[in-house]
Amino acid sequence: MTILETSWVQGNDREIEELVRLVNEAIALELNASRLYALFQDLFPDDGEFWQALSIEEENHANLLRNGRRLFLPEGRFPRELLPESLEPLVEKNRELESLFDRYEQTPPSREEAFRTALVLEESAGELHYQRAMESRAPSWTLKVFQTLNNDDRDHATRLRDYMAAEGIAE
């Protein structure tokens, strides 16, 4: 198998449909993360620049996935490493985030809760797969394209921990 063949390759209609659903749910997760961080930016202006950077990066991740869906998926070259094996963890995390938005509209979180919530999010299935794919040695040219375009928009969990430590916020 060559480096060009290590990405997901076209299968039957059901496999393709499942991959499309996974990509769409991963895009939704990135957009929900961006929305959450934008909310935290508004709620905690002293940390506004930090939250804004994360929000923008999550939006960029969503755009990368959208472009991958458009350009690579029809050719059967979407890098499968970016996604968890099943749809369930992505759906579950997106539902959880939607519930958080409703709750935070009624009762905003404390600053500490915001950071802990972000850390849990960054260590969830969809975000963790994306991060690991960005850190890995690319087995395919399509993943290499994603890594190059992603550039330095990564290591969110580490950056959260570092920021929390510098600010005296306990995990």
Per residue in 3-14, pLDDT (tens digit) is 333 344 455 678
The beta-carbon contacts of 162-169 under 8 Å, at least 24 apart in sequence, are 163/47, 163/50, 163/115, 164/115, 164/119, 167/47, 169/111, 169/112, 169/115
At 162, is the pLDDT very low, low, confident or very high (cuts 50, 70, 90)? very high
Q: How do residues 125-155 score in pLDDT, each as one tens digit? A: 766 666 676 676 767 777 777 767 666 556 7
How much is the pTM?
0.85
Contact 104, 40 (CB under 8 A): no
**Distance of alpha carbon 158 from alpha carbon 150, whole angstroms:** 17
pLDDT of residue 112: 97
